[in-house]
Amino acid sequence: MGLAIARQMAARGDRVALLDLQGDAAMRAAERLRESGAQVMAAVVDVTDRAAVDAALDKVRAELGPIAIMVTSAGLDAFEPFTEITSESWERVLSVNLTGTFHCLQAAASDMLEARWGRMVTISSSSAQSGAPRMAHYVASKAGVIGLTRALALEFARHGISVNAITPGMIDTPMLRRAASGGDIGTLEKTAARAVPVGRPGTPDEIAATCAFLCSDEAAFITGQVIGVNGGMVL
């Protein structure tokens, strides 16, 4: 989803920074985007490490200028019965999904406040709205992202900064494919045909299109909203 969002934003003329724990993959993606004429950079970042996030954003500012848009799409899933979730597993999932979101948004906020214009888009999950068995830590972390989004939307509304959350449903991503191959969910196509009202999984590009709109001037009056891109799974 993060890569699809980067492609969409680059295609509309934005300067884009790809921040990812998988540095080599981010560098390759940035190079492909540059070949299409986009102004793109990449940096290796662990979003759980605040110092690393701050250093990466300083590099972004030096190469691309002040930060006007932040999309927090880094995420980690886990499937464990509630009684078997260890403190370490709980902390790891929340550290990536919720604390990592906090780190990235707070580190970028000063530029937007100074410019009195900004767009923050968080990627939560439809499971934060519906719940999910064997995913208590993941669900709690993504529900926290929704709460953080709403709090910041109110805090920043008078500063020209919108803050919205996208809650993807069953989207065809490597993370979901790994869950299917590991037996944590059924095969993606069969599960989607049964569980998604439109009868198919969503695509990363459908998430990216929603994100690009929320980052536009046309979406200035939309803030604090939870936008479900889920094929009707959660109404």
> Catalytic residues, which ones?
138
The residue type of 133 is P
**What sections of the chain are H helices per DSSP?**
2-11, 23-35, 50-64, 87-94, 100-115, 127-130, 136-156, 174-181, 188-195, 204-214
Residue type, 85: I
Gap between the Cα atoms of 23 and 15, Å rounded: 19
Asked if 141 contacts 74 with a C-beta cutoff of 8 angstroms, the reply is no
The alpha carbon torsion through 105, 111, 115, 119 (nearest 10 deg) reads -30
| End-to-end Cα distance, the chain | 22
